[in-house]
Amino acid sequence: MRTVIADKRWAEKYPEIGTGPVAAEPLISSEHFELEREKIFRRTWLNIGRVEEIPNPGDYIAKDLTMCRASVLIIRGRDGEVRGFHNVCSHRGNKLVWDEKGTCKGTLTCGFHAWAYNTKGELTWVPDEKNFFDLPKCDLGLTPIHTEVFEGFIFIHLAERPPESLREYLGGVADQLEGGGFGELALAKRYRVDEHANWKIALDAQNELYHLPFQHRRTIPEFCVLKDGQFTRLLDVRLFNHHSVYSSDPPEDRVGPATEKLAARFSVAETESRLPRIGSFDFYTIFPNMALLLFRGVSHDFYMSYNFWPQAVDRTDWDIKIYFRPAENAGQRVGQEYFTCLLRDLLQEDATAHEQIHIGLASRAKKELYFQDEEMQIRYFHTVLDRFYAEA
């Protein structure tokens, strides 16, 4: 597929999204933050991690979701099944597991009075049980949370009855990514960024390529502007039920730095792997707070995920994961290190900018934002937000 250099294609493709300025207030206001807490994060499927993080029976991950005022425990049962629970003890409500990741031999034991639960969440042991009063032990398992897995990505839904299955919720995104072979790649690097910025400011700032030749003028300036000064255009923008993807192709004549060329030579592998890409770079926004980035790598495809976890209206835990084909030798591992260092350094440029944008917007000097056609997917994200804000 060749990229077409033409203007305003996406507004033409999606006229219902509009072209006018967009309100800045939701990016900084505490009122919207509270709306998001009730109407978005408790009503949508949220990605918690991947199945490879808990490969064996008894493996678990636990995560405090500040935004949802919840702590979530995802555990692989003895039967191999992945289940999600509120990470809360039935005795007096202590948080059951305190570490973010671990393995249990058969039971999880509460640190307060040692009530114990098996990997299916059933209460199996109560010290001094005879001194309680008709304890309904069978009903006192951990409180389950709706947990579903798509292509190895574990999602939870905190509603008592989710309005749709994960597959239905992902809709067109699932159609595109189904059978993607994500499990063949392994986590190579993970970064946690503690940002003093609203989660949507961070996500919006990642959700376009317009900024590349400017904000990333030192790192990857060539990915957006052609040499003759003409702006490149996105290969495609697709809007789904709540989500979106934009795709691009790189400039054909890009000359990378010397070490990149070395790293590219080291990275050549026997086995090809291919993700279900649209272009050579696809950026999915999976509403509300996840992004999935698919890359055509030098010798094989790789992907990244972002989870933007709101901590406060002006504070975000940006969880960045980079997945490569597992290195077969030291040379490949060295080549990967080049690309992860490059990604890390340019995402540092972004993280700094997120905080500066937050300061700028928090001044309320500007009430509205202006999006160009290549920023259509951000505009769309804001229309989805508005839809959720307006729900009963």
Partner 1 sequence: MSAQKLPAEFADLEPFLDWALATERERTSKRLASSMEEIQAFYDYMSARVEAATAYLNAFPLGTLPPEAERLFHLSLSLMEVANAVEMFQNPAVINGFDVKRFAPVEDV
- Binding partner of 112, given ligand FES, partner 1, Fe ion, none, CB within 5-8 angstroms per partner class: ligand FES
For residue 83, the surrounding DSSP H or E stretch is strand 82-86
In angstroms, rounded to a whole number, what is the distance separating the alpha carbons of residues 32 and 386?
10
Q: What is the dihedral of CA 280, 284, 290, 296, to 10 degrees?
A: -10
Q: Kindly write down the DSSP assignment for every residue of 277-338, as one continuous string.
A: -SSSEEEEEETTTEEEEEE--SSS-EEEEEEEEEEETTEEEEEEEEEEPPPSSHHHHHHHHH
Residue 349 engages partner 1 in binding (rule: CB under 8 A): yes
What's the CA dihedral at 350, 243, 158, 320 to 10 degrees? -30
The DSSP element (H or E) to which 73 belongs, if any, is: strand 70-76
Among 350, 355, 360, 372, binds Fe ion (CB under 5 A): 350
Tell me the residue number closest to Fe ion, measured at CB: 350
Element housing 107 (H / E): strand 107-109
Q: Which amino acid is at 87?
A: N
Under the binding rule (CB under 8 A), the answer on residue 264 touching partner 1 is no
Question: Which of the stretches 117-125, 227-235, 237-245, 346-354 binds partner 1 when contact is defined by CB under 8 A?
Answer: 346-354
- Minimum distance of ligand FES from residue 18's CB (angstroms): 52
Compute, in degrees rounded to 10, the torsion defined by CA atoms 280, 286, 289, 294: -20
Q: 153 forms bridges with which residues in the sheet?
A: 50, 150
Binding residues for ligand FES, rule: CB under 6 A, are 89, 91-92, 94, 110, 112-115
For residue 46, what is the enclosing H or E element?
A: strand 46-50
Joined together, the tokens standing for residue 190 give 């993970």
> Distance between CA atoms of 388 and 134, rounded to whole angstroms?
44
89 contact choice in Fe ion, partner 1, ligand FES, none (CB below 5 to 8 Å, kind-dependent): ligand FES
Q: Enumerate the β-bridge partners of residue 84.
A: 74, 145
Q: Is 190 exposed, middle or buried (0-12, 13-18, 19+ CB in 10 A)?
A: exposed
Question: Which of 33, 266, 306, 388 is the binder for partner 1 (CB under 8 A)?
Answer: 266
- Of 94 and 311, nearer to ligand FES (C-beta) is 94
**Which option in ligand FES, partner 1, Fe ion, none does residue 227 bind, with CB closer than 5 to 8 A by kind?**
none
Q: Does 330 bind partner 1 (CB under 8 A)?
A: yes
User: Residue 342 binds which entry of Fe ion, ligand FES, partner 1, none, with Cβ cut-offs from 5 to 8 Å by kind?
Assistant: partner 1
Identify which of 120, 162, 172 has the alpha carbon closest to the alpha carbon of residue 141: 120
- Sole window of 134-142, 183-191, 319-327, 348-356 interacting with Fe ion (rule: CB under 5 A): 348-356
Comparing CB distances to partner 1, the nearer of 244 and 336 is 336
The least distance separating partner 1 from the CB of residue 249, rounded to whole angstroms, comes to 23
Name which of 81 and 194 has its Cβ closer to partner 1: 194
Selection from Fe ion, ligand FES, partner 1, none that 91 binds (CB < 5 to 8 A by kind) is: ligand FES
Residue 336 CB neighbours (<10 A): 22
Q: Which of 23, 186, 268, 341 binds partner 1 (CB under 8 A)?
A: 341
Q: x/- site string to partner 1, residues 209 to 248, per CB under 8 A?
A: ---------xx-----------------------------
Q: How far is the CB of 294 from Fe ion (least distance, A)?
A: 16
Nearer to partner 1, 269 or 291 (CB): 269
- Does the protein bind partner 1 through residue 165 (CB under 8 A)? no
Q: List interacting residues with Fe ion (CB under 5 A).
A: 350
Q: List interacting residues with partner 1 (CB under 8 A).
A: 187, 189-195, 218-219, 257-260, 262-263, 265-266, 327-331, 333-334, 337-338, 341-342, 344-345, 347-349, 351-353
